[in-house]
Amino acid sequence: METAYKSRTQKKKEDQALQRLGEQLVSLRPGRLEAMGLPEELVAAIEFARSITRHGARRRQVKHIGALLRHCDPQFIETILEGTQSGIFEK
């Protein structure tokens, strides 16, 4: 069984996209985050990133969130984020 070859540049682009998604999750209100049904480890990392004020430390935490997002379905999370921004998933 062959796996698709991904160049180093493609892997970096995917990681950067996951980090941008992580930034969006960090910017959400706390109540929205719990309603999304994300893994506990990811929610804890996002909540910790919110408490960080130093730029370098926050950047490292967002990279960690991006790494955790590799194990989740990013399409599902993007769909929920788009729905919350457009008002579809409002309570």
CA–CA gap between residue 86 and residue 74 (Å, rounded): 18
Is residue 4 domain-resident? Answer: no
pLDDT tens for 37-46 read: 889 999 999 9
Position 5 in a domain: no
Q: Is residue 52 part of a domain?
A: yes
Sign of CA dihedral 15, 21, 27, 31: negative
Structure tokens, 86: 């457009």
**Residue 57 reports pLDDT greater than 80:** yes
User: Hey, how many other C-beta atoms are within 10 angstroms of the C-beta on 91?
Assistant: 5
Q: Does a structural domain hold residue 3?
A: no
> What is the distance, to the nearest Å, from the Cα of residue 5 to the centroid of all Cα atoms in its chain?
24
Query: Structural domain of residue 31, as residue ranges?
Result: 10-86
Task: State the greatest distance between any 2 C-alpha atoms of the chain, in Å, as a whole number.
Answer: 46
* Confidence tier at 32 by pLDDT (50, 70, 90): confident
* CATH code of residue 65: 1.10.60.30
Contact present, 46 and 33 (Cβ < 8 Å): yes
Answer whether residue 2 shows pLDDT above 80: no
* Number of structural domains the chain divides into: 1
Residue 73 lies in a domain: yes
69 is a domain residue: yes
In a domain, 91, yes or no: no
pLDDT given at position 88? 60
Mean pLDDT for 85-89 is 64
* Residues 9-35, mean pLDDT to the nearest whole number: 91
